[in-house]
């Protein structure tokens, strides 16, 4: 077996990134690991997030994964440089909120960032806002309940919509025209967000550029990669694989079978 692409998230949000990588590299095996046992990461401290992420990377390393995509903003903003130093032989691709394109593209210069509690408070995010959105009014919300709605497969319930209204009503009334996702779970809420905020709102999320970056690494390093188009992806979780498979199947609208990681 050649090298596989590793994709890691605390839970199912990383499937939004997985889905885009699969579109660009359909013949490449992807190994997905979700650390449900320790999820959510977004309510944890930075040091804990780093330690858990290191364990996840070790799991994917054992399965010959490189690059490893940290398909979790919380884990990326919490320590991507740290993981790069600790695992010099692995190529990492991280996921961060696309604040720069949002600020450039916003006509009203008013943007909303939805992420986890940890990401919303992180130095990394504050720096991105300072560097790239200085000229914008920014609403920076940590929204752990929205992560939960995706994990429970309850994205289109009325309760989720009213949570979204609670965050979005004021900024929208004030003229915000862009919503930036700082959490990989939230692309699964895009449809509901459009329902709540109207189709004129621009949603920015980084899964496509992340997938393009993974393909770039692939193109630079073709020889060590497997070429078998029939190869099957593998999905591992540290949580309850049966329930998780059901929600994942609903999110990706195709059969996804998680197995227990250990």
Tell me which residues are annotated as active site: 72, 183
d(Cα 139, Cα 219) in Å, to the nearest integer?
A: 38
Using CB under 6 A as the binding criterion, the count of chain residues that bind ligand DGL stands at 17
Task: Determine if 238 is a binding residue for ligand DGL (CB under 6 A).
Answer: no
Shortest distance in whole angstroms from residue 194 CB to ligand DGL? 20
d(Cα 153, Cα 124) in Å, to the nearest integer?
A: 30
> Which range binds ligand DGL by CB under 6 A, 171-179, 180-188, 198-206, 236-244?
180-188
Angle at 148 between CA 65 and CA 209, to 5 degrees: 45
What tokens appear for 110 in the block?
Answer: 């008013």
> Residues in the chain, how many?
262
Which lies closer to ligand DGL via its Cβ, residue 40 or residue 67? Answer: 40
> Which range binds ligand DGL by CB under 6 A, 34-42, 155-163, 170-178, 193-201?
34-42
Strands 258-260 and 234-237, by their bridges, are parallel
Q: Using the rule CB under 6 A, which residue among 114, 128, 185, 236 binds ligand DGL?
A: 185
Q: Tell me, residue by residue from 103 to 142, as one string, x for binding to ligand DGL by CB under 6 A and - for no binding.
A: -------------x--x-----------------------
Q: Using the rule CB under 6 A, which residue among 5, 30, 138, 147 binds ligand DGL?
A: 147
Residue of 53, 47, 74 whose CA lies nearest to 6: 53
Contacts of 192 (CB under 8 A, 6+ apart): 155, 156, 160, 161, 164
Task: Determine if 36 is a binding residue for ligand DGL (CB under 6 A).
Answer: no
Shortest distance in whole angstroms from residue 12 CB to ligand DGL? 8
Shortest distance in whole angstroms from residue 71 CB to ligand DGL? 7
Shortest distance in whole angstroms from residue 9 CB to ligand DGL? 5
Task: Determine if 205 is a binding residue for ligand DGL (CB under 6 A).
Answer: no
d(Cα 237, Cα 76) in Å, to the nearest integer?
A: 19
Residue of 10, 11, 23, 13 whose CA lies nearest to 233: 23
Query: How many angstroms separate the Cα of 72 from the Cα of each of 9, 30, 62, 82, 147?
Result: 5, 16, 20, 15, 12
Task: Determine if 207 is a binding residue for ligand DGL (CB under 6 A).
Answer: no
Restricting to residues 41-100, name those near ligand DGL by CB under 6 A.
41-42, 72-74
List residues binding ligand DGL (CB under 6 A): 9-11, 13, 39-42, 72-74, 116, 119, 147, 183-185
């Amino acid at each position: 077996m050649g090298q596989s692409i590793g994709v890691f998230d605390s839970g199912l949000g990383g499937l939004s990134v997985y889905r885009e990588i699969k579109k660009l590299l359909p013949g490449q095996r992807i190994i997905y690991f979700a650390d449900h046992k320790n999820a959510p990461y977004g309510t944890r401290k930075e040091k804990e997030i780093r330690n858990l992420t290191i364990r996840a990377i070790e799991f994917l390393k054992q399965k010959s994964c490189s690059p490893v995509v940290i398909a979790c903003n919380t884990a990326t903003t919490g320590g991507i440089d740290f993981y790069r130093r600790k695992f010099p032989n692995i190529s990492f691709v991280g996921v961060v909120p696309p604040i720069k394109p949002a600020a450039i593209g916003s006509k009203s210069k008013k943007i909303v960032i939805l992420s986890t509690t940890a990401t919303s408070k992180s130095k990394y995010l504050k720096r991105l806002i300072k560097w790239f959105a200085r000229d914008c009014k920014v609403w920076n919300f940590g929204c752990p309940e929205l992560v939960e709605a995706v994990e429970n497969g309850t994205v289109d319930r009325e309760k989720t919509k009213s949570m979204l209204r609670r965050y979005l009503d004021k900024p929208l009334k004030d003229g915000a025209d862009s919503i930036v996702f700082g959490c990989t779970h939230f692309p699964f809420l895009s449809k509901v967000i459009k329902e709540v905020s109207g189709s004129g709102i621009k949603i920015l999320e980084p899964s496509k550029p992340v997938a393009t970056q993974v393909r770039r690494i692939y193109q630079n390093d073709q020889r060590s990669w497997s070429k078998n188009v029939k190869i099957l992806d593998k999905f591992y979780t540290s949580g309850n694989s049966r329930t998780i498979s059901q929600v994942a199947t609903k999110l990706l609208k195709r059969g996804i079978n998680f197995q227990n990681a250990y």
